[in-house]
């Protein structure tokens, strides 16, 4: 729990910033892996007030992180002392020609479908990626040949370091494999997408194909954070783990998926510690047998 929790009148103070105070939320309920202890969440309903809100937190010596849809996070069992800022959903998307202005809090899949309905395509590959548009941008999420950075032309960002909100052209951003050049305290607020004219029926068919491929190759019905490790250049981490015969390996309630070896699933009340131990085990085996150090794709938040 954060230092703010001891302040009196904090709910009213947050309401004055257009935000909602949610103390002691179990992060297992806010993450797709279903693990993680308590943290205080501030749900931001008016992003224009973020500069004031961040200045207030800074003035009270409280550090913060930004929580999207929680689909790429592994949070420690003991929870976090930092406050989590989470942008509230609700703002509408806006369309002009082949551009779409999308709030960062929007669900990525919903955004793709809303664009499709207006005959705007190019993001179909990302259809099964859970989470928000802001999270996808930060991670440069990618699937089936499309990466988020391919379709983003500009974005509105709150820079925690300067306290300013500004619009940034994407030429200034480095998009890499599951990584972007943003700082940890840059908060995406809205994104301008540039898409291709394409009939709705064609986009829908591509979406169905991607959904079929995903269902056939990933444990979509189980709790996970997608791929746990990145692929080293020219190698498939899932293939290496599979070749080592590690599918089905279990630590506590955490299991290496039988369907996709680079997915760890929370099958039976797993803790974050179980998952971290299983990750260490995989890392050690891959290093020993292949001489390769695996980098995490999941973002690990330890206390």
Ligand X SMILES: Cc1cc2nc3c(=O)[nH]c(=O)nc-3n(C[C@H](O)[C@H](O)[C@H](O)COP(=O)(O)OP(=O)(O)OC[C@H]3O[C@@H](n4cnc5c(N)ncnc54)[C@H](O)[C@@H]3O)c2cc1C
Q: Which residues bind ligand X (CB under 6 A)?
A: 32, 65-73, 87, 104, 129-132, 134-136, 138-139, 141-143, 178, 187-188, 220, 224-226, 299
Q: How far is the CB of 291 from ligand X (least distance, A)?
A: 26
- The CB-of-146 to ligand X minimum distance in angstroms stands at 10
Q: Residue 94 CA to chain centroid, in angstroms?
A: 23
C-alpha span between 186 and 74 (Å, rounded): 20
Shortest Cβ 167–ligand X spacing (Å):
15
Extract the tokens encoding 207.
């979406």
C-alpha pair distances (Å), 127 with each of 102, 131, 238, 242:
16, 11, 21, 26
CB of 111 or CB of 203, closer to ligand X: 111
Closest CB to ligand X among 143 and 285? 143
**What's phi and psi for 84, nearest 5 deg?**
-105, 125
Instruction: Name the residue with the smallest CB distance to ligand X.
Output: 135
Q: How far is the CB of 151 from ligand X (least distance, A)?
A: 14
Q: How far apart are CA 243 and CA 246, in angstroms?
A: 8
- Bridge partner list, 20: 43
Distance between CA 127 and CA 112 in Å, rounded? 7
Helix, strand, coil shares, percent, the chain, to 5: 30, 30, 40
**For helices 108-117 and 200-217, angle between their N-to-C axes, nearest 10 degrees:** 150
Q: Pick the closer one to ligand X by CB: 31 or 271.
A: 31
* Alpha-carbon span 43 to 30, nearest angstrom: 13
Nearer to ligand X, 224 or 271 (CB): 224
- Beta-sheet pairing, 38-44 with 94-96: unpaired
Q: Which is nearer to ligand X, 36 or 226 (CB)?
A: 226
5: nearest Cα among 23, 26, 27: 23
2 or 224, CB closer to ligand X? 224
**Distance of closest approach, residue 208 Cβ to ligand X, in angstroms:** 16
Q: How far is the CB of 220 from ligand X (least distance, A)?
A: 6
Alpha-carbon gap, residue 175 to 117, rounded angstroms: 28
Nearer to ligand X, 119 or 165 (CB): 165
Q: How far is the CB of 59 from ligand X (least distance, A)?
A: 22
Q: Which is nearer to ligand X, 70 or 121 (CB)?
A: 70
Instruction: Kindly compute the dihedral angle of the four CA atoms of residues 257, 143, 73, 166, in this order, to the nearest 10 degrees.
Output: 180
224 in helix, strand or coil?
Answer: coil
**Cβ at position 259, least distance to ligand X in Å:** 11
Cα–Cα distance, 216 to 210 (Å, whole number)? 10
């Amino acid at each position: 729990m954060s230092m703010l929790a001891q302040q009196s009148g904090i709910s009213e103070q947050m309401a004055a910033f257009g935000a909602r105070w949610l103390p002691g939320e179990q992060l297992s309920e806010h993450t797709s892996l279903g693990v993680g202890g308590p943290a205080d969440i501030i749900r931001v309903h008016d992003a224009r007030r973020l500069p004031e809100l961040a200045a207030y937190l800074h003035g009270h010596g409280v550090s913060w992180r930004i929580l999207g849809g929680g689909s790429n996070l592994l949070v420690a069992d003991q929870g976090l002392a930092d406050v989590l800022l989470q942008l509230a959903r609700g703002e509408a998307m806006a369309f002009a020609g082949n551009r779409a202005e999308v709030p960062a809090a929007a669900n990525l899949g919903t955004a793709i479908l809303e664009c499709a309905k207006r005959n705007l395509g190019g993001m179909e590959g990302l259809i099964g990626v859970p989470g928000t548009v802001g999270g996808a941008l930060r991670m440069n999420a990618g699937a089936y040949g499309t990466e988020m950075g391919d379709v983003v032309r500009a974005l509105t960002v709150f820079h925690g370091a300067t306290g300013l909100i500004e619009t940034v052209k994407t030429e200034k951003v480095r998009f890499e494999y599951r990584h972007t050049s943003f700082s940890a305290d840059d908060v995406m607020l809205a994104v301008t997408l540039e898409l291709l004219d394409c009939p709705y029926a064609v986009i829908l068919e591509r979406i169905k194909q991607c959904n079929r491929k995903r269902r056939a190759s990933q444990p979509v019905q189980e709790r996970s954070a997608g791929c746990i490790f990145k692929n080293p250049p020219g190698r498939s981490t899932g293939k290496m783990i599979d070749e080592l015969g590690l599918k089905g390996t279990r630590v506590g309630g955490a299991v290496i998926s039988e369907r996709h070896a680079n997915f760890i699933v929370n099958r039976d009340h797993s803790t974050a510690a179980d998952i971290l131990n299983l990750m260490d085990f995989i890392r050690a085996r891959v290093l020993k047998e292949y001489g390769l150090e695996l980098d995490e794709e999941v973002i690990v938040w330890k206390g």
